[in-house]
A and B are shown apart, each in its own frame.
Chain A
Amino acid sequence: MTEHGSSGSPLDSSYQEKIAQVSERLSSSSFRADVEFKRASTAMARVLSLKEFELWANLGFELGNISGRSWDCATEYFKSSPIVMEIEVFAFLDLHQWVGHGKELAAISAEAAASYFKHSPRFINEVDLWSLDKWVQLGRRLLDDHWKSSKLTSAYFRTSLECLPIFGLKGMEEWVKVAAALSSHSHDVGQRFLEDSRLWFAPLTDAEREKVLQISMAMAADDYTSIPKFFPLLELHQKKVKTEVRKPLYEICLNIAAQSAEDALAFLESAPLVLSRIESKDQIHLAALGSKLSDISWEAAMEYVNNLPEILATLPAHKVPPWFEAGMEVTTENAHAGTAYYAMESRRSQEEITRLQRTVHLEDINRLLNLYAEGLTARKLKIKKLEKESGLSATALPTTDGEYIQLPDKVAEYEDYTKNFKWYKVATAHQAGYYEYDTFCFSIRALKETGLGEIPRGLREKVARSERNDLEGFFQMFNEPSLASMLFRLMEDGRVDYLLRTNYRGLKRDMLPIMEHAMAERPPLRSLTPRRAALEMLLHITTLGEVRENLDPASEVFYNFIRGEVQRVFDADATVSDSALAAARVYPLIKKLPDMKGLRREIIEALAERLGNYDGDIDELLDMLLAEAEAGDTLEDLEGGDPYLLDVLEFRGDTKPEEVQKLMKLKEIKDNIDKLNEHGVPLPLDLLKELLKMGAEMDIIGMDEEDLDSSSGLFITNIDGLSEIPAYKKVKEMLEEEPETLQQLLYGDMGINDPLESIYYYDEWDHLIDDYRSKWCKLKELSPGDGDTQFVEETLKDNSEIINVIRRQFQLLRPEMFRKVKKLESGEEIDIDSAIQAVIDKRCNLTPSEKVYQRRDKRERDVSALFLLDVSASTDEEVEKNTPALPTADTSWKDDKYSNPGYARGGGGPPPPPEPSKKGKRIIDIEKEALILMAEALESIGDEYAVFGFSGYGRDNVEFFTIKEFPERYSDKVKGRIGAIRPQRSTRMGPAIRHAISKLDKADSRLKLLILLSDGYPQDFDYGKDRTSKEYGIEDTAKALHEAREKNIHPFLITVDPAGNDYLKDMCGKNDYMVIEKVSSLPQELLRTYRTLTYR
């Protein structure tokens, strides 16, 4: 583009001539066009060559001559030309394209074309020239032969510029589609839509905008009049409905709108009202379900959402999803049925609700049952959901593993909630009964003492000679260990239930109906093979005490014998040995009975004959039967499958006592290892010996096992965290290699070789599992290093004036040892002044005051304060003068090298602490200054105090810096340590607080304070699984602070994190924290806080 002279100078005469020519021609056609031409011409003349200028003017004529009304459009053309020419990307060559679009439009509507010329420069400027075509094409869609469409299109060119930033060029296509759809019904509605769009769409999120456009489209297709009503509702939602909830809500609405705009409107109208009746934490989840449903049936989804408050009135929120899912099935098959279901009108729906109402979910009663089991057994037994793949129980039946009682996650067997709950209670009591009545204490040694003589002879010798002492060893003395195990369990279950029933009459009341219920569905005896019938009889006797069926004579004989043996365990003094004995005594008979139906009746009768008519000692007969049975003198089994399998009763569950015995043994080993690690105490020699012995024994158990692979794998994986304990791993390794060096190694692991570092282990609270993670954090006590006293001295010098004030203030706090309280009605001594007054009063015939005593109240200041300093990396931040803008979290952990667990787990050395920066004061410097002033104050008042710093990286490396212990004097050494404090790594508050508690707990003051100075929320790279979540750290810290309060320690947190108010209220309780906005005021605030905390 060439310039023809600067703006001030007159135009070339050739241009002036041209302008006069064109103007003359124009004035005959359109006065306004002529005016605009003349106005624009000067500017145009300056940037165009004469030839170009002529062309430009001619294009104007072309436009004006398209139709009778198109001079308006030419006017706008002239008006916009200088503007468009000023745009940097616009060259003269682009003029054709620009005017070309205008011509096309003008051929249909001059008004639209005029609007185009008016608004396009802004479009070109704000978007680009290449998109112009698309923009115009979108406008063309709105243009038809109706005169009103011109207005609409003009409105498009105008409003689209406003809406561009909202939709983007891409999104505008949908927007125009809606407008087009609307204008096909009514141009006015379409135009209003365009004009109000900016207002309506601007507040929406991108996702919402997309949905709303879709909904609008659907509504426009059904009933265009609904659109004006639609948008005001959206505005209402913005105010009343949470963003996350709006998303599913609009998904539902879209599905409805596709069918009926009217219903969609009604839905949107009622939604805020419905939601207001639902707790906000449930809203998202429940609305998301609705959105899922609406894909199948919009009517059902509408009913669902509208009825939510009613549903929630009958079912707790967590039970809604199962009810919902059942409804989904119905809906998939039959949409109408689904609608009725969610309207809570169908019977199926009602039934489902009643079923859910009566269902007891384990999670609801977990803690209750926990306490119940612990109450019954005095053991730390925990309840948890059955793990189907645990290997402990093949079926989903209650079981136990020495540490947990596992129960099914829900029970709905009975018709009401109470009965289902009672089932849980009885099942828990039964499993707990194993512990209460010492099932797992079984030992062959004890069995020998109880009744060696009564064990059938063949077995007796094995028992007497046995080297093993456990249940598994006992079972393996039989040719058929699985039968022996089954018999033992039946007897033992019988014994446990009997003892529970006799000892707890309340439980008996609950247990009997459950037993009856469980036994009601047993197969009739005559339908079973003789052996299974005998086992079934045993089950009947151990539960109900009898068989209620009519028995044939042979069975009667067996029944009487079995019942006689069960009587051994139906005794208040029966022990687990009696169960084993009884099992051993019924074993020969049951083994000898064929597992085959109907055949060889005579054999069974002969056996019954022998048993029934035996004259001599029954024991001798048993000896004989056992010898025959174990010699294989039985009939081969014709029925398939495990010949000894019996369907166990659900409430009794399926516990394998021999496995539990093993697991409990291992748990004991684990506990012993834990004991070694606790608090870094030196390992007593005899404890080590015991451990070695147990460890060795554990390996023997492993080797004795026939199928070594499965079982050894089983018990290692089944003990939570056992294999994670480093000491345990080492013990295992050392056991395999050389047990002699184990002792040395354990000492090394506990840091005993390094007396300078003390190591402590602390539990950590995990709110996700609602329990402590045992010995989770390893805390090291370190010295911050020796520094010189320079820092302290400088601080004192800089603040010398303030320090004098502080000393005076604090000395005022020191109360006199005794304070006399006078004029009391009773007291230690007579208050002589009041007494004299009273006597005088009396003499004067006045009523004397009775308050003539005085008492000396002893007010001693008795305070121990522990200051815990956050020395995390973030304290390295410089404090700008009076700016509260501080980092709210440590940034160090985000660093790659910190997030590499291998690194943090000791793959390399610890990450280097940040280099101290030289410029300006850092947070840590201010913390230190505050400490120094505090120390001065405390020295003057004489309170006991201690100072520590903490940091760390990962749970294995919590660092606890000792700056001053309670008994230590405020010596130069301490001052040096204060000087040496440097920013370190992360902020794992929990273990540091716990360690501080243990320090304070030893102090014996009336008032114990734990004052924590921090600059952000608790954080560490492995503080909780989700490292982006602050919650874990906050919950753990809150718990630690709670522990402090329980020990009568008053914790107080002072933070310079301006975001502190957000989480500290939950973490510390509402009175026990303070957020300091101005970091530099920390010293004063600390002193002030200390005064208020300690002055009563």
Chain B
Amino acid sequence: MAKAQEQTYKEYRIREEPFYIAVEDEVEIFNAAYEARLPLLLKGPTGCGKTRFIEYMAYMLYPDEEGDDGEAFSQLITVACHEDLTASDLVGRYLLEGEETVWIDGPLTKAVKTGAICYLDEIVEARKDTTVVIHPLADHRRILSIEKRNQVIEAHPDFLMAISYNPGYQSVFKDIKQSTRQRFVSIEFDYPPADIEKEIISHESGMDIEVAADLAKLGEKVRNLKEHGLEEGVSTRLLIYTGQLIAGGVNPLRACQVAITNTITDEKEVQKAIDELVSTVF
């Protein structure tokens, strides 16, 4: 039986080029921003490829190579933000080990030290006071202060800050503060246009391009219903799941039903309408 792979941040590397098709000029923008070490904010609905993009860029910027000290290090450290995420969850804390207290670096500190990209996913979910610790890292200072250890760390020259957020379902009170927001270069993402999306679906799900094109078409149609009880349109990720189910031998109509219709809404009438769109396309 296959076992889950346990890897520390140190070892976890993106070793193969992640599949990514640029929709607009996001790759160029990212490269330019990286040259100037400008922090980046990726905006966009769920499942449109923000995380994949950052993985792709991380790989492209540091293809499988050794770090400065000859050790392999992660190119990308991702933190999924949540309501209880505290500053010390990011920076690090003392832990008891035996009878000593040992300082453990948090993911942010690790990234700052090793020169990885630190990617804070869904930044708005984190508490506002937490997000403030990234401020000095996200401007010209590029420093991280660790009060508890009385330290100030200057970021590794390769270090890059990136955050993401989804403007769609965020309520106003979960908006990003201007002081945070204005430290970033923002790249807006949306679901890719049908002709690119079909390539993505086809590649990721292994389905032939015709089915992938139909899925992309369906995605487009379902997204047209966005205002009717759908918080967000169907994501590329879901379309890929659907493709994978179809590839696994599930009848396309059924696959769409379980992966799309039932997933994105609970409202019966809207579900029916989506089912009709499904049976129109397939």
Q: Which residues of A contact B (CB under 8 A)?
A: 367-368, 370-372, 374-378, 425, 429, 503-507, 510, 827-830, 835, 838-839, 842, 852, 855, 858, 862, 1001, 1004-1008, 1047-1048
* Contact between chains at A1004 and B173 (CB < 8 Å): yes
> Who on chain B is nearest to A504 by CB?
B280
12 A-B pairs in the complex with CB atoms less than 8 angstroms apart: A367-B273, A371-B228, A376-B221, A503-B217, A506-B279, A507-B280, A828-B87, A828-B93, A862-B173, A1004-B175, A1047-B172, A1048-B173
Q: Is B281 an interface residue (CB 8 A)?
A: yes
Interface residue from B127, B172, B277 paired with A376 (Cβ < 8 Å): B277
* Contact between chains at A372 and B172 (CB < 8 Å): no
* Contact between chains at A505 and B173 (CB < 8 Å): no
Interface residue from A368, A842, A858 paired with B272 (Cβ < 8 Å): A368
A504 vs B173: C-alpha distance when bound (angstroms): 42
Q: Is B96 an interface residue (CB 8 A)?
A: yes
A829 vs B96: C-alpha distance when bound (angstroms): 11
> Who on chain B is nearest to A855 by CB?
B86
CB-defined contacts of B101 to chain A, threshold 8 Å: 830
A835 vs B94: C-alpha distance when bound (angstroms): 12
* Contact between chains at A505 and B228 (CB < 8 Å): no
Q: Is B26 an interface residue (CB 8 A)?
A: no
* Contact between chains at B281 and A425 (CB < 8 Å): no
Q: Decide if the interface of chain B is mainly helix, strand, loop or mixed.
A: helix
CB-defined contacts of B217 to chain A, threshold 8 Å: 503-504
Q: Is B270 an interface residue (CB 8 A)?
A: yes
Interface residue from A377, A852, A1001, A1007 paired with B224 (Cβ < 8 Å): A377
Most chain A beta carbons < 10 A, residue from B86, B217, B222, B273:
B273
A425 vs B272: C-alpha distance when bound (angstroms): 12
* Contact between chains at A371 and B269 (CB < 8 Å): yes
Nearest Cβ in chain B — how far from A1092, in angstroms? 20
> Who on chain B is nearest to A843 by CB?
B99
Nearest Cβ in chain A — how far from B86, in angstroms? 5
* Contact between chains at B222 and A505 (CB < 8 Å): no
For the complex of A and B, the 9 pairs showing the least CB-CB separation, nearest first, are A371-B273, A378-B224, A828-B88, A1048-B171, A507-B280, A375-B221, A506-B282, A506-B279, A504-B280
Interface residue from B87, B148, B277, B282 paired with A372 (Cβ < 8 Å): B277
A1080 vs B88: C-alpha distance when bound (angstroms): 52
* Contact between chains at A505 and B96 (CB < 8 Å): no
Q: A371-B228, A503-B217, A1005-B173 are in contact. Are A858 and B127 (CB under 8 A)?
A: yes
Q: A374-B224, A505-B281 are in contact. Are A368 and B99 (CB under 8 A)?
A: no
Q: Is B276 an interface residue (CB 8 A)?
A: yes
* Contact between chains at B172 and A1001 (CB < 8 Å): yes
CB-defined contacts of A370 to chain B, threshold 8 Å: 273
* Contact between chains at A367 and B269 (CB < 8 Å): yes
Nearest Cβ in chain A — how far from B190, in angstroms? 14
Nearest Cβ in chain A — how far from B107, in angstroms? 15
Q: Is B225 an interface residue (CB 8 A)?
A: yes
Nearest Cβ in chain B — how far from A387, in angstroms? 24
Q: Is B278 an interface residue (CB 8 A)?
A: yes
Within 8 A of A (CB), among B214-229: 214, 217, 221-222, 224-225, 228
A1005 vs B281: C-alpha distance when bound (angstroms): 45
CB-defined contacts of B88 to chain A, threshold 8 Å: 827-829
* Contact between chains at B129 and A858 (CB < 8 Å): yes
A503 vs B216: C-alpha distance when bound (angstroms): 12
Q: A829-B94, A842-B99 are in contact. List 19 more A-B contacts (CB 8 A).
A: A367-B269, A371-B228, A371-B270, A371-B273, A372-B277, A375-B221, A375-B225, A377-B224, A425-B280, A505-B282, A506-B280, A506-B281, A828-B88, A830-B101, A838-B96, A1001-B172, A1007-B173, A1048-B171, A1048-B173
A376 vs B281: C-alpha distance when bound (angstroms): 10
CB-defined contacts of B273 to chain A, threshold 8 Å: 367-368, 370-372, 375
* Contact between chains at A835 and B96 (CB < 8 Å): yes
Q: A504-B281, A1004-B173, A1047-B172 are in contact. Are A371 and B87 (CB under 8 A)?
A: no
Nearest Cβ in chain A — how far from B227, in angstroms? 9
CB-defined contacts of B225 to chain A, threshold 8 Å: 371, 374-375
Within 8 A of A (CB), among B105-141: 127, 129
Nearest Cβ in chain A — how far from B131, in angstroms? 13
A425 vs B279: C-alpha distance when bound (angstroms): 11
CB-defined contacts of B277 to chain A, threshold 8 Å: 372, 375-376
Interface flags for B172-208 (1: CB within 8 Å of A; 0: not) read: 1101000000000000000000000000000000000
* Contact between chains at B86 and A828 (CB < 8 Å): yes
A673 vs B175: C-alpha distance when bound (angstroms): 33
CB-defined contacts of A862 to chain B, threshold 8 Å: 173
CB-defined contacts of A510 to chain B, threshold 8 Å: 279-280
Nearest Cβ in chain A — how far from B278, in angstroms? 7
CB-defined contacts of B224 to chain A, threshold 8 Å: 374-378
Nearest Cβ in chain B — how far from A99, in angstroms? 81
Nearest Cβ in chain B — how far from A571, in angstroms? 18
Nearest Cβ in chain B — how far from A837, in angstroms? 13
* Contact between chains at A829 and B93 (CB < 8 Å): yes
A1048 vs B170: C-alpha distance when bound (angstroms): 10
CB-defined contacts of A368 to chain B, threshold 8 Å: 269, 272-273, 276
* Contact between chains at A1004 and B172 (CB < 8 Å): yes
Most chain B beta carbons < 10 A, residue from A377, A503, A835:
A503
Nearest Cβ in chain A — how far from B103, in angstroms? 11
Interface flags for B79-111 (1: CB within 8 Å of A; 0: not) read: 000000011100001101001010000000000
> Who on chain B is nearest to A839 by CB?
B99
* Contact between chains at A425 and B86 (CB < 8 Å): no
CB-defined contacts of A829 to chain B, threshold 8 Å: 88, 93-94, 148
CB-defined contacts of A503 to chain B, threshold 8 Å: 217
A371 vs B269: C-alpha distance when bound (angstroms): 9
CB-defined contacts of A429 to chain B, threshold 8 Å: 280
> Who on chain B is nearest to A428 by CB?
B276
A377 vs B280: C-alpha distance when bound (angstroms): 13
> Who on chain B is nearest to A507 by CB?
B280
CB-defined contacts of B270 to chain A, threshold 8 Å: 371
A370 vs B217: C-alpha distance when bound (angstroms): 19
Interface residue from A376, A842, A1004, A1005 paired with B280 (Cβ < 8 Å): A376
CB-defined contacts of A506 to chain B, threshold 8 Å: 278-282
Interface flags for B138-176 (1: CB within 8 Å of A; 0: not) read: 000000000010000000000000000000000111010
